[in-house]
Amino acid sequence: MVILAGSALAGLGAFVFVVIATRSLGLEGFRPISQLWTVWAIATAVVTFSTQVVTVRREVLVGQSAISRSAELLPLMLLLALALPILWVYRIRIFGDASPFWPLVGGLIPIGAFLTGKARGWLAVHGSPTQLAAVVGGENLVRASAAIILGIVNAGARWYAIALLAGYAVALLGLRGRNTAARAESQGGSPRDRLLPVAASVAGISDHLILVAAPTVLAAAGASPELVSALFVALAVYRAPYQLVLGALPAITRRFTQDLPGMDQSRIAAASRRVGLWLVVISLIAAAFGWTLGELVITPIFAAGGILEPIDHALAAALTILATGALLSSVALLSLGRANRTLIAWIPVTLLTIGAGYSVGEDPTAILAVMTLGVMVATVATGAPFVRNRVLDDEIPRLSS
């Protein structure tokens, strides 16, 4: 429960930071911060997620899993290689400012995401739940606290960018005092282990992309700004359960890595069927909630009433639950080192889903239906090995009893 509390505080801190920065700077002044916030979200999905999976697996399976430092750093290096040139060349278009300050901050964000992933992964295995919760929740609480002070003194946008970076300071809680000298670091490793960081990055960004891409697809199709904003707000509200699970992922990864290799195949299959059934039930309940109460929740908070249909709210709510299920089944696969299966499941589904989303035009119902179907397919693809008794094999390292 303490980890979920930390995750909830992380969501609250993010909300406070964005609200204060928006009101203090105005929509135009908030522009560069919104772009950095997008970089932060991508870095969290790509770098933090993959790094914490790799760290947990290495620390739980000491001597049984060899993931080289070069492989572990690959997602970070790829993101920096992609982001830095884009942020620099298009800095005026992206940030509205030719200053090198903004690309520099954008380049530091993935590095902070990497350190946070290391800290979360380490604490998930060696730390207490309170320490892990402090890192998970503290990151955005630091940003929110800084934003409150900056709002009072009427600071400029650059200070909010520095506040965003300051949130990564909480990673020191998980990196301080680590003793890695006695741990052998292999520079080789099996192909399965070398591919694991990339597979984790693909799973993290793909699941996140399908969950949040609908407003962007809608905007690209030429929909009105009001409709795009209404859909963005709805997805942001319904995404709360997903955000809670994200904060608990380091602990979940540790549990999967410790328990799954030693479990009986039939027991895994039975548990997977139960989880799948509950996922369907909860998705239907969420859809019913969105259909009946979605408008009542969204309108008073964001004044976006009468724009979306009840079916849109239902699909958005179900999409969040299914995306959470796909994320958890992906973590289970990654905990067992099933990098190939993770990539095979996510890459074609993501490409086809985003492509189909762009092809249906500016109808939010159609776009949400495509995204919901896509994440449903991804959930089945990542969960099928567990249900079919084919998730374990002789290559999976097993913990000694």
pLDDT of res. 400: 39
- Rounded-to-integer distance, Cα 342 and Cα 330, Å: 7
Q: Is residue 194 part of a domain?
A: no
- Rounded-to-integer distance, Cα 217 and Cα 66, Å: 40
Q: Is residue 232 part of a domain?
A: yes
Is 151 found in the same domain as 273? no
Is it the case that residue 399 has pLDDT exceeding 50? Answer: no
279-284 mean pLDDT: 94
Q: Is residue 396 part of a domain?
A: no
Q: Is residue 311 part of a domain?
A: yes
Is 357 found in the same domain as 219? yes
Is 373 found in the same domain as 266? yes
Say if CB 171 and CB 137 are below 8 A apart.
no
Q: Is residue 355 part of a domain?
A: yes
Q: Exposed/middle/buried for 400, CB within 10 Å: 0-12, 13-18, 19+?
A: exposed
- Rounded-to-integer distance, Cα 330 and Cα 4, Å: 20
Is it the case that residue 367 has pLDDT exceeding 60? Answer: yes
- Rounded-to-integer distance, Cα 369 and Cα 340, Å: 28
Q: Exposed/middle/buried for 324, CB within 10 Å: 0-12, 13-18, 19+?
A: buried
Is 314 found in the same domain as 176? no
Q: How confident is the model at residue 391 (pLDDT cuts 50, 70, 90)?
A: low
Question: What's the number of domains the chain is made of?
Answer: 2
Is 225 found in the same domain as 160? no
Say how many residues make up the chain. 401
Averaged confidence pLDDT in the chain: 83
Is 349 found in the same domain as 221? yes
Helix, strand, coil % (nearest 5) of the chain? Answer: 80, 0, 20
Residue 369 CB contacts under 8 Å (≥ 6 apart), including other chains: 315
pLDDT of res. 56: 86
Structure tokens that stand for 334 in this block: 């990654």
Summarize pLDDT for 110-126 with one digit per residue, the tens: 999 999 999 998 888 88
- Rounded-to-integer distance, Cα 23 and Cα 11, Å: 18
Residue 82 CB contacts under 8 Å (≥ 6 apart), including other chains: none
Q: Is residue 85 part of a domain?
A: yes
Q: How far apart are the first and last CA of the chain?
A: 28
3-state SS class at 1: coil
Is 173 found in the same domain as 221? no
75-88 mean pLDDT: 88
Q: Is residue 193 part of a domain?
A: no
3-state secondary structure 221-280: CCCCHHHHHHHHHHHHHHCHHHHHHHHHHHHHHHHHHHHHHHCCHHHHHHHHHHHHHHHH
Q: Is residue 198 part of a domain?
A: no
pLDDT of res. 302: 56
3-state SS class at 295: helix
The percent of residues above 90 in pLDDT, for the chain, comes to 29
> DSSP labels for 163-222?
HHHHGGGGGHHHHTT---TTS---S---HHHHHHHHHHHHHHHHHHHHHH-HHHHHHHTT
The percent of residues above 70 in pLDDT, for the chain, comes to 88
Q: How confident is the model at residue 65 (pLDDT cuts 50, 70, 90)?
A: low
- Rounded-to-integer distance, Cα 315 and Cα 286, Å: 9
- Rounded-to-integer distance, Cα 249 and Cα 230, Å: 29
Is 217 found in the same domain as 144? no
Is 216 found in the same domain as 177? no
Is 217 found in the same domain as 176? no
Domain boundary at 165, 182, 199, which? 182
365-373 mean pLDDT: 93
Residue 276 CB contacts under 8 Å (≥ 6 apart), including other chains: 325, 383, 387
198-224 mean pLDDT: 84
227-256 mean pLDDT: 82
Is 284 found in the same domain as 152? no
Q: Which amino acid is at 32?
A: P
Structure tokens that stand for 169 in this block: 């300071």
Is 248 found in the same domain as 290? yes
Q: How confident is the model at residue 242 (pLDDT cuts 50, 70, 90)?
A: confident
pLDDT of res. 186: 46
Tell me which residue range forms the domain holding 300: 212-387
pLDDT of res. 384: 87
> DSSP labels for 94-119?
HHS---THHHHHHHHHHHHHHHHHHH
pLDDT of res. 179: 55
Is it the case that residue 185 has pLDDT exceeding 50? Answer: no
3-state secondary structure 10-28: HHHHHHHHHHHHHHHHHHH
